[in-house]
Amino acid sequence: MRKQPFKKEVGKKITKFDSNFVMSRITQTEKVAHIGCMHLDENGLIGYHQAVVPQLLLIVNGEGWVRDETDEYIKVHSGEVVFWDKGEWHETKTDRGLLSFNIALF
């Protein structure tokens, strides 16, 4: 499991084509990807399971905890992304609610 921020502060200023914005890179893939939006309400849970394919959890609102094969939970917040490799066991939970995008790479 890897965790990284995607907040504005870690992005790069883009000015090409007269643009004016900051791009925070998340991932690049040549594989087919499935993108889903997950809405976890208070006390929401994505149960402990094994990743069938490499995937990432991009947290856009709220906060919660994630874990891998260990019993140690890591706090996650909006503006962070968590990566899991194929075969990696993981779980996500929240007390207050969490909105995220799940991107599975096939």
The pLDDT of residue 28: 86
Average pLDDT, the chain: 95
> Which overall architecture, per CATH, does domain 2-105 show?
Sandwich (2.60)
AA identity, residue 91: E
Calculate the alpha carbon distances from 100 to 16, 36, 63 in Å: 29, 8, 10
pLDDT over 90 (residue 46): yes
Q: Please name the residue that has the structure tokens 């995607």.
A: 6
| 9-24 confidence digits (pLDDT tens) | 999 999 999 999 999 9
Q: Where are the domains of the chain?
A: 2-105
Residue 84 confidence (pLDDT): 97
* pLDDT number for residue 100: 96
Predicted TM-score (pTM) of the model is 0.87
Q: How many helices and strands (H and E) does the chain possess?
A: 0, 10
Report the C-alpha gap between 40 and 92 in whole angstroms: 10
71 SS3 class: coil
